[in-house]
Amino acid sequence: MFIEPSYKGENRGWIEVICGSMFSGKTEELIRRLRRVKIANLKVEIFKPAIDNRYSEGAVVSHDSNEILSTPVRSSQNILLLSQDVDVVGIDEAQFFDEEIINVCEILARKGVRVIVAGLDMDYKARPFGPMPQLLAIADYITKLHAICVKCGNIANISYRKVPQDSQVLLGEKESYEPRCRHCYYEGENI
Domain harbouring 105, CATH code: 3.40.50.300
Count of structural domains within the chain? 1
| pLDDT confidence tier of residue 107, bands split at 50, 70 and 90 | very high
Asked whether residue 6 is assigned to any structural domain, the reply reads: no
Asked whether residue 186 is assigned to any structural domain, the reply reads: no
Taken as a whole, the chain contains a residue count of 191
Active-site annotation holder among 93, 99, 106, 173: 93
Reply yes or no on whether 93 is catalytic. yes
Average pLDDT, the chain: 85
Condensed to tens digits (0 to 9), the pLDDT of residues 33-44 reads 998 999 999 999
Asked whether residue 179 is assigned to any structural domain, the reply reads: no
Asked whether residue 79 is assigned to any structural domain, the reply reads: yes
Asked whether residue 153 is assigned to any structural domain, the reply reads: no
Condensed to tens digits (0 to 9), the pLDDT of residues 2-44 reads 555 555 556 689 999 999 999 999 989 998 999 899 999 999 9
Asked whether residue 185 is assigned to any structural domain, the reply reads: no
Asked whether residue 103 is assigned to any structural domain, the reply reads: yes
26: β partners: none
> Model-level pTM?
0.85
Phi-psi bin for 126: left (phi > 0), alpha (psi -120 to 50), beta? left
CA distances from 85 to 15, 16, 17, 27, 44 (A): 17, 19, 22, 24, 9
Phi-psi bin for 91: left (phi > 0), alpha (psi -120 to 50), beta? beta
Strands 114-120 and 88-91: parallel
Q: Which residue range forms the structural domain that includes residue 28? A: 14-146
Terminal alpha carbon distance of the chain: 33
Asked whether residue 92 is assigned to any structural domain, the reply reads: yes
